[in-house]
Structure 1
């Protein structure tokens, strides 16, 4: 039976000891962002008053009072080839974490996304009797379903951010609760694009293209050059009346992106290019159209109601493995949620600079199609709008106080 945080019986006053804590692990910037609202809700929960939080996380989690025992950068890799290169460091952190949590058991463990890392930790902790909660379901609905058995061995309670996921877990005998998506609560239903453009000093009347090549170094290396070449192609076609904004996800990515920007501006000195330190949300709110790497950011772009082109590149071996495992035809979250290609996806060899530029500018040339897409994104936003942080905190309180 699924725990329902909205209809549960009244909980007893919390009986947490002074040293009681919740262990949490987030492995990348998107997980850091998703976890921050949850940690804030934990602080505001009367059932969890005094509960400390510690583990692996990023700056947004730390800002809520979270104690980061290890930095999350070690875990921020995507793809089989990339993970193999980082495997020794990842295993070292995982073994140290499991040892620490075994010596000083938390009241529960909350894994935020990062399934390749967190499910292994959760399996060990669950076997040791520590309740395990996983926030953000692995994409078992996008890949062949063999992982569900391993998830059942690892996770006591799955927190789902998409409404269709709970039925999958209930069928497999895993407790699950739909909690909505935190981004849906943090992004307004109607963006203030004009206000955002003013903050970025975009010239009145100019079209603005937001370009987001990813949040990992491997993504910048593989995707960045093609995206910057696509900027050049868009500039050549438009000449005037167009500007570009590139938010740099983390300081570590800045040198590589600055080098690409410098090369671009040397070849095309007339391009108006804005590099931002972070501020992806501002860039997306301001944009008229978005060229974006596949990942959580595509959902954020959809919630900002932005027409987009989704692209991705991974090493050839990784692409071959992923192609054999996948059974959905889509990789972008907006298309997965819509169950159809409502925005273009250009992957691997198809992601040429010319193709990316043409597909991106196509949205500017077809305002009626862009308007219909915004209506679809508004419906999507409404379906994901829940008090996510409070619902997650309620489930944690039920489990800890059970």
Structure 2
């Protein structure tokens, strides 16, 4: 947003990038202070529309407080303003009391822009105005579902990336994606590195299914925005503690701008559950979805919140069945990570065919359609929805 010329942020957005239960407790006083700061900033700015983007725990509380203030002003004869919009809804659908969870937003937002096709009906049924705008992870993917460019162009981009980073032309490349939040990176990246190390050791001893591959295993870690320094530190510390990565496997950390090129160069990706699973599916990269968290968060999720889903990754959730392997909680170990990555690396043609199947089955459902029934970009659909709340912009064409 800063790149588009918008005003700088009131505070670093990384302060809101916390998830879980045990993980969020130390941050609560700071988040509460930021909430008050944002409420005051909105009152000073007196905007026509307030748009919360993701960060549901923070933004929905902010919008609810603004809705209460707006209602009080209306009772005193002050015109109602601003319009309250949330872009990306909470995952109410993941729980047995989905309707009750969705209804908690009623009266707190004027419109909810949702990314998944089944969310619109759920929230509307609960009395929350909701519009499905599609998933922005697909905005860089052709409407037909293919990655950008021709196959030859993608191959050339991948080869150029390998040369630039210094990857061996004959190496099998593991792309490690530990998440975008600092807490996720700290929890997941050491596990992924140790899993890659375990696999490389087994290959060196001829014990892996993929041992017949003549080239080495090499690792690429695309760091999320603002996380390059933290990723570099964790990689260095993990490798220093264990000598070398993967018994000689080379590990390269690249910036977020090189992520798409890293996908093209990767034979297999090991990725934390999240939007990244959709991005990998769009790129046609074979993947294993992983997630680990604190014991308290895991206990609360599985024993108290009791989600009704059998899957954690979006491709599996949307398909309603297992399309890609998930290693969650106590199953997310270096040994299991090594086994699943080995299985995919040993069968490259089958792995690519399965990745293509995921793309064909899942991605079309994540496109919103225009008034004429044509697929449209999520960013454009969201912009059109927002323009409806600005009377002076009704004549704009997108």
What range describes the TM-score normalised by the shorter chain of this pair?
0.7 to 0.9
**1:360 maps to which residue?**
341
Give the whole-Å Cα distance in 2 for the aligned partners of 1:382 and 1:333: 13
**2:130 maps to which residue?**
176
Deviation at 1:269, TM superposition (A): 5.5
**2:182 maps to which residue?**
217
RMSD across aligned positions (CA): 2.0
Tell me which of 281, 300, 324 is aligned to 2:260.
Answer: 281
Give the whole-Å Cα distance in 1 for the aligned partners of 2:242 and 2:180: 20
Give the whole-Å Cα distance in 2 for the aligned partners of 1:299 and 1:376: 9
Distance 1:216-1:333 versus aligned 2 partners, 3 A rule: same
Q: After the TM superposition, which of the residue ranges 99-108 and 383-392 deviates more from structure 2?
A: 383-392
Gaps of 5+ in 2: 71-80, 149-153, 205-214, 368-375, 393-398
Deviation at 1:197, TM superposition (A): 3.9
The alignment partner of 2:52 has SS state of strand
2:358 corresponds to 1:376:
yes
**1:234 maps to which residue?**
199
Deviation at 1:340, TM superposition (A): 1.1
Tell me which of 14, 20, 35 is aligned to 1:94.
Answer: 35
What is the TM-score when the length of structure 2 is the normalising length?
Answer: 0.81
Is the 1:228–1:264 contact (alpha carbons within 8 Å) kept by the matching residues of 2? Answer: no
Give the whole-Å Cα distance in 1 for the aligned partners of 2:269 and 2:315: 13
Give the whole-Å Cα distance in 2 for the aligned partners of 1:126 and 1:377: 40
Distance 1:104-1:313 versus aligned 2 partners, 3 A rule: same
Is the 1:160–1:179 contact (alpha carbons within 8 Å) kept by the matching residues of 2? Answer: yes
The alignment partner of 1:133 has SS state of strand
Give the whole-Å Cα distance in 2 for the aligned partners of 1:260 and 1:62: 34
Is the 2:284–2:352 contact (alpha carbons within 8 Å) kept by the matching residues of 1? Answer: no
Aligned ranges for residues 69-84 of structure 1 at < 5 Å?
69-84=10-25
**2:311 maps to which residue?**
330
Give the whole-Å Cα distance in 1 for the aligned partners of 2:245 and 2:281: 32
Gaps of 5+ in 1: 1-60
Deviation at 1:322, TM superposition (A): 0.9
Is the 2:102–2:122 contact (alpha carbons within 8 Å) kept by the matching residues of 1? Answer: no
**1:248 maps to which residue?**
223
What is the TM-score when the length of structure 1 is the normalising length?
Answer: 0.80
Deviations 1:335-369 (A, max 9, x none): 11111111111112111111111111211223325
2:382 corresponds to 1:401:
no
Deviation at 1:317, TM superposition (A): 0.9
Tell me which of 152, 169, 173 is aligned to 1:204.
Answer: 169
Larger Rg: 2
Distance 1:160-1:241 versus aligned 2 partners, 3 A rule: same
